Amino acid sequence: MRPPEGHGLLTGKVAVVTAAAGTGIGAAAAERCLLEGAAVVVSDWHERRLGETVERLAAEHGDRVTGIPCDVTDEAQVQQLFTGASVHFGRLDVVINNAGLGGTASILDMTDEQWQRVLDVTLNGTFRCTRAALRLLVEQGQGGAIVNNASVIGWRAQAGQAHYAAAKAGVMAFTRCTALDVAQHGIRVNAVAPSLATHPFLAKVTSEELLAELAGREAFGRAAQPWEVATVMIFLASDYATYLTGEVLSVSSQHP
């Protein structure tokens, strides 16, 4: 399967995508935003990978893409990201909060540090970035869209994932409540909840046996490609979803 062609769904808009370096969902979302006509600020804490991603995307899309490093656990860096994006492109329209951190540990062995790190990146990072973005969007007074990356693990139990599941369930609840806070400003806040999307980083932190088991639960017998999640994110960010807010869309073919 190949990604669909762009249809100008984000033409004239400025998008920020967090955790966009490399080959995962964030990088796919950044590329999809560009294919749909947006100017894009890609961000990641890993500056070398971020630079490589910007270079690769700029080779095709020119000055419609730039990069700003950001660790979403650092409030000062979050502020610099969104201020920098607004200054560079003159406005902000779309934010895709993709930053998240997983890992596997039984609750019997999980340390405070493991729990706090996953929650700080995955849930608190989404909060920090959303807050910074919404303040800019409200000031602009022209609406906008936030798309958060949750996970079906926020709904479905999986051994060894208590910290990640709690964080992603938090992202879902945060999305719903935040949507009500800003609906009066014409700003939409939604989330996607992928089941399994394959990329090299996932293979590094998850066993091949577990990945095969999870893929076997999917109706198509395979994991999603990152672009298959990204296209749903772009739908939520686009004018095709003007009546959707506070929603969490499952990007899954998983059966019980």
Burial environment of residue 55 by CB neighbours within 10 A (0 to 12, 13 to 18, 19 or more): exposed
The two three-digit tokens of residue 199, written as one number:
């990329």
Coil, helix or strand for 213? helix
* Cα distance between residue 224 and residue 183, in whole Å: 31
* Cα distance between residue 140 and residue 245, in whole Å: 19
* Cα distance between residue 159 and residue 179, in whole Å: 31
- Distance set, CA 187 to CA 29, 59, 197, 242 (Å): 20, 32, 28, 9
Q: List active site positions.
A: 164
Coil, helix or strand for 114? helix
